[in-house]
Amino acid sequence: MAKSYDLIIVGAGMVGALSAILLAKSSLRIALVDKHDGDYRLSTPPAYDSRVSAISSQSKALLETAGVWQGIPLERIASYDNMVVWDGLGDGHVDFNAETTSMLELGCLVENAVLNQQLMLKIRDVKNIDLYLSDTLESHELSESGVRAELSSGHVLEAQAIVAADGAMSKLRTENAFDTVEWDYGHSAIVATIEIDKSHQNTAWQSFGEEGILAFLPLPSVDQRHFVSIVWSVPPKEAESLMALEVDAFCRRLHYAIDKRFDVLGVTQARQSIPLRQRHAKEYVKPGMVLIGDAAHTIHPLAGQGANLGFSDVKGLVEVLSKAHRRGECLGASNVLRRYQRARMLDNIAMSVGMEAFKRLFSTQQPVFVQLRNIGMKRFNHDVALKQKLIARAAGLASFS
Ligand SMILES: Cc1cc2nc3c(=O)[nH]c(=O)nc-3n(C[C@H](O)[C@H](O)[C@H](O)COP(=O)(O)OP(=O)(O)OC[C@H]3O[C@@H](n4cnc5c(N)ncnc54)[C@H](O)[C@@H]3O)c2cc1C
């Protein structure tokens, strides 16, 4: 016999899990399905997880509303109030700091596993969410009036709509023939946790240079030892050779790539290399189905905005579906789901275009472009109003659209 819900959410990653908690607050009955077992084993500091996310003010506020942020141990959060970006091929640089915008911080760095664990702990307390873990959708049928799905465990579920939050390689997106615009960034990102010789000064450091795009993102210090999470985006062949280097040689390369601002003492978590691809679904909705988070769009991590965009999707979807539920509308109806698409698509496209432009601007090493780029950066650095606007956008406090 089929079990009946208002929504089936597939994918309990950061985006799907947060959407389940916030939608459940509107008394919606939710089935949350994930192929993962939901058990996030945390590494012990200073061996911080090598996958981290810079969380914006708006995302933090959403996580607070969900009662999730409050559960994250303080010693696993690194807030930063400065950001320094520079051109390794010239003398242009831009400083952002929280004070210019009267914000307490520009953002917070949290390990993905820590956030996922807190989301899962919270979900286990919510009565109107049923978890189907280590499970996947075997088959499903969609229509304007609802969805019927069979899970690999044999459970049969019915709901008004299905939310695809199953990440960048979304099976639901491909199975339901959502068209995408996508291309390779020609970059792989190497991520790792490293120890540095001195304090990171609660600052996110980012170099755009000959050695690729390199970010040193602050992590909590332990016993006066200092750590950062790196995201080093380089062409795939270069990533292969960096991954093949012995740790000492890798640390030396990092020291030069960050313009000798820090001595790199060691790597505390295994390096990972992740191929980067820009992807954007042309439509986010079909009758009975909606895409959110990485299932709908992926962007270059250079500005740390992917998950934040996903959280903004969650905010938009919760607003639309809660209102529709109060009005007694069918949640899977195209006219309801299109309201979500209208609310989110422009903003997501604007961010994707912005990331692409940034990546291209800094990819060229032709002297005339490098010179112009550096002049531009210096001018921008003195334009406080423009910097305030960009910070507000990155914090999720203003939109492009
Ligand atoms: C190097 C790098 C650095 C980044 N840094 C930042 C940053 O600083 N700030 C930021 O905002 N963003 C950042 N991002 C982007 C961010 O990591 C993603 O946008 C975010 O993790 C997407 O979350 P999601 O929940 O949509 O997808 P995912 O985290 O991929 O979750 C998808 C979930 O779906 C489940 N799943 C998948 N397929 C199935 C299936 N068939 N059946 C059932 N379950 C399934 C998976 O188990 C998983 O739990 C970065 C990305 C990269 C690559």
Within-domain flag for 55 = yes
**What's the mean pLDDT in 192-214?**
94
CATH number at residue 283: 3.50.50.60
Residue 394 has pLDDT above 70, yes or no: yes
Within-domain flag for 194 = no
**Nearest atom within ligand 1 for CA of residue 135:** 43
Within-domain flag for 196 = no
29-42 pLDDT, tens digit each: 999 999 999 999 89
Q: Quick check: CB of 146 below 6 Å from ligand 1?
A: no
Give all strands (DSSP E) within 56-128, no chain letters: 77-80, 82-87, 93-97, 107-111
Residue 400 has pLDDT above 60, yes or no: no
Nearest protein Cα to ligand 1, atom 3:
301
Q: Quick check: CB of 299 below 6 Å from ligand 1?
A: no
Nearest protein Cα to ligand 1, atom 20:
307
Lowest mean pLDDT among 373-377, 382-386, 394-398: 394-398
- CA of residue 270 to ligand 1 center, whole Å: 19
- Please tell me the predicted confidence (pLDDT) of residue 398: 64
Q: Quick check: CB of 395 below 6 Å from ligand 1?
A: no
359 or 67, greater pLDDT: 67
Lowest mean pLDDT among 107-116, 141-150, 259-268: 141-150
Ramachandran assignment for 171, one of left (phi > 0), alpha (psi -120 to 50 degrees), beta (any other): alpha
Q: Helices 306-327 and 14-24: crossing angle, nearest 10°?
A: 30
- Please tell me the predicted confidence (pLDDT) of residue 241: 97
Q: For residue 247, give the 3-state DSSP assignment.
A: helix
Residue 401 has pLDDT above 60, yes or no: no
Within-domain flag for 389 = no
Confidence of residue 399 (pLDDT cuts 50, 70, 90): low
Q: Where are the alpha helices (DSSP H) in 218-305?
A: 236-244, 247-257
Nearest protein Cα to ligand 1, atom 51:
301
What is the chain's mean pLDDT, rounded? 93
Give the helix/strand (H/E) hosting 112: helix 112-123
Q: Quick check: CB of 14 below 6 Å from ligand 1?
A: yes
- CA of residue 13 to ligand 1 center, whole Å: 6
Q: Quick check: CB of 313 below 6 Å from ligand 1?
A: no
Within-domain flag for 310 = yes
Residue 360 has pLDDT above 90, yes or no: no
What letter would DSSP give residue 294?
Answer: G
Q: Quick check: CB of 164 below 6 Å from ligand 1?
A: no
Q: Quick check: CB of 34 below 6 Å from ligand 1?
A: yes
Q: Quick check: CB of 54 below 6 Å from ligand 1?
A: yes
Residues 161, 285: contact at Cβ < 8 Å?
no
- Please tell me the predicted confidence (pLDDT) of residue 397: 67
Q: Quick check: CB of 394 below 6 Å from ligand 1?
A: no
Q: Quick check: CB of 294 below 6 Å from ligand 1?
A: yes
397 or 217, greater pLDDT: 217
Give all strands (DSSP E) within 56-211, no chain letters: 77-80, 82-87, 93-97, 107-111, 129-133, 137-143, 146-151, 156-159, 161-164, 180-196, 203-209
Confidence of residue 291 (pLDDT cuts 50, 70, 90): very high
Within-domain flag for 239 = no
143 or 132, greater pLDDT: 132
Nearest protein Cα to ligand 1, atom 52:
301
**Nearest atom within ligand 1 for CA of residue 276:** 53
Q: Quick check: CB of 166 below 6 Å from ligand 1?
A: yes
- CA of residue 132 to ligand 1 center, whole Å: 19
- CA of residue 274 to ligand 1 center, whole Å: 12
Q: Quick check: CB of 171 below 6 Å from ligand 1?
A: yes
Beta bridge partners of 290: 163, 285
Residues 280, 170: contact at Cβ < 8 Å?
no
Domain housing 136: 3-76+111-182+278-364
CA 163 – CA 51 distance, rounded (Å): 25
Q: Quick check: CB of 167 below 6 Å from ligand 1?
A: yes
Domain count, the chain: 1
Within-domain flag for 249 = no
299-343 pLDDT, tens digit each: 999 888 999 999 999 999 999 999 999 999 999 999 999 999 999
**What's the mean pLDDT in 222-245?**
96
Within-domain flag for 393 = no
Q: Quick check: CB of 288 below 6 Å from ligand 1?
A: no
370 or 214, greater pLDDT: 214
- Please tell me the predicted confidence (pLDDT) of residue 282: 97
Q: Of 59, 150, 190, 294, which is best to mutate to test ligand 1, by the most ligand atoms within 8 angstroms of its C-beta? A: 294
**What's the mean pLDDT in 217-221?**
97
Q: Quick check: CB of 163 below 6 Å from ligand 1?
A: no
158 or 145, greater pLDDT: 158
Residue 91 has pLDDT above 90, yes or no: no
- Please tell me the predicted confidence (pLDDT) of residue 79: 96
- Please tell me the predicted confidence (pLDDT) of residue 154: 97
